[in-house]
Chains A and B, each alone.
Chain A
């Protein structure tokens, strides 16, 4: 069972060096214990482009599809047998990156 752990933030490129070190240590634990699937940090929402390819010609629009004060700054995809394990891992991830996170199951 895979879960998306989204990192909620209101600033971009805001991780400090200490936070980056904690995140790397956390990633190592995820890998060592077989929970690691994928992870990544995202550039600012300002850098996003929205594409609508449903018509004959694709339409490109500048900016994120949703303007909000808080946004997705990065994510982990983790492997966990159930939500209790996922929540425990997410709590450690939240501590490591020093941000709130959201856990959502994949279908």
Chain B
């Protein structure tokens, strides 16, 4: 093995084993801080030793043993200094597992990191660190905060978990649905931040974050295969990620779905996403919001041509979603489908009633509808407002170009920006074609 192979081996083991090692150490020592530090030290030792000694036959076991030893060393050191480690260990003890709980240690870790007593941004940071294995500088960079501030946020969270005794376990059956949706919300936030990164200097798409969110969503899906929303969220992410490279042009401008090079879409991700959507449909269970959004994206990614997009089906799915979530943002996205089914006039009547003046996608959608109705001056004013509010560089570039185009009805439906908190809305608003596309999973099997 050469040095590059060793580095690759370490990176792979890190991806595969980090969460498991942190989880098992947390279980054994009852302390997230000790677990995190010992796991990090074990990997540092691997980086030091493996190039000379070679990669051990069972790298995961080697790392676990090494990490355990590091943890014991630290506890001994602290005990000599009169630390209270024994107490911490007894504190967590072995809480009896609720009936039917999933055995994987990593799941406890995820639920602890996403505990509702922690602030949302703390849950995100802690999950990326403890479960995802990202370093503090990586997380700080991803969220454009100072490294020291991010370090402090994570340190405070660990201290609170310990002091307030946030339990290290899978929640009881009664709490489980709410807690799972809390976990999914954290992953959704991570994905969205990657998908539509904010900040004037930020890359428009943060591949590191979308990839990490998908990896964690896969893990949750594997750990809880019966959870429909976990499957739905993974499908939604896959169908969105499949279009990533086609979504931003070489010049850094957002490319709406109707203008995307569909040949650049990732067919394997689309196939996987469609499989999950079909699986959920076959279950016959009532879908939650992620499953509905995944189905919407499945319809889009199965249209052979933009003109083939089944907008009435998309509208029906949004009708379903509006019943679950009557928020104005969902209504805005529904209006985009209304524009395709009943025309821009009908859609504008809906949009004009929505209280979303501070939201860039609201103005972008209005601007597009007004443009399609030939009301140029009003459309330009709406573009101005959208540009003013948009935080993503690719989006701003796209809106600016759009604003400069003549105010005639567009030849095809056109609008722009994915509202934050709702993955892939640009795609929902932008119908589009492709040959050899997966068939629509909502219409029978392939």
Interface residues of A (CB under 8 A from B): 1, 3, 81-84, 86-87, 103-105, 107
Contact = CB atoms under 8 A, between A and B. Distances in A.
12 contacts: A3-B164, A81-B165, A81-B167, A82-B165, A82-B166, A83-B115, A83-B164, A87-B116, A87-B117, A105-B163, A105-B164, A107-B163
Contacts of B115: 83
B164 A84 contact: no
Tell which of B91, B95, B117, B165 has the most Cβ of chain A within 10 Å: B165
A84 B164 CA distance: 10
Contacts of A83: 115, 117, 164-167
Interface string B166-185: 11000100010000000000
Nearest to B162: A105
Interface of B: 91, 95, 115-117, 163-167, 171, 175
Contacts of B167: 81-84
A1 B92 CA distance: 11
A87 B115 CA distance: 12
Given A84-B171, A84-B175, A105 B117 contact: no
A6 to B, nearest CB: 14
Given A1-B91, A84-B175, 7 more contacts: A3-B164, A81-B167, A82-B95, A82-B166, A83-B115, A83-B117, A105-B164
Contacts of A81: 95, 165, 167
Contacts of A82: 95, 165-167
A103 B171 CA distance: 19
Contacts of B91: 1
A81 B164 CA distance: 10
A87 B95 CA distance: 17
B316 to A, nearest CB: 38
Contacts of B116: 87
A93 to B, nearest CB: 16
A103 B165 CA distance: 12
B49 to A, nearest CB: 39
Shortest beta-carbon contacts, A-B, top 10: A82-B167, A105-B164, A82-B165, A83-B164, A83-B166, A83-B165, A84-B167, A105-B163, A1-B165, A83-B117
Contacts of B163: 105, 107
A83 B166 CA distance: 5
Nearest to A80: B165
Tell which of B117, B163, B164, B167 has the most Cβ of chain A within 10 Å: B164
A91 to B, nearest CB: 11
A107 B164 CA distance: 9
B176 to A, nearest CB: 12
A86 B163 CA distance: 13
A40 B95 CA distance: 32
Tell which of A87, A103, A104 has the most Cβ of chain B within 10 Å: A87
A16 B410 CA distance: 64
Contacts of A105: 163-165
B90 to A, nearest CB: 11
Contacts of B164: 3, 83, 86, 103-105
Contacts of A3: 164
Contacts of B95: 81-82
Nearest to A88: B175
B97 to A, nearest CB: 14
Nearest to A87: B117
A103 B237 CA distance: 37
A75 B116 CA distance: 22
Contacts of A104: 164
Contacts of B165: 1, 81-83, 105
A3 to B, nearest CB: 8
A24 B85 CA distance: 39
A56 to B, nearest CB: 35
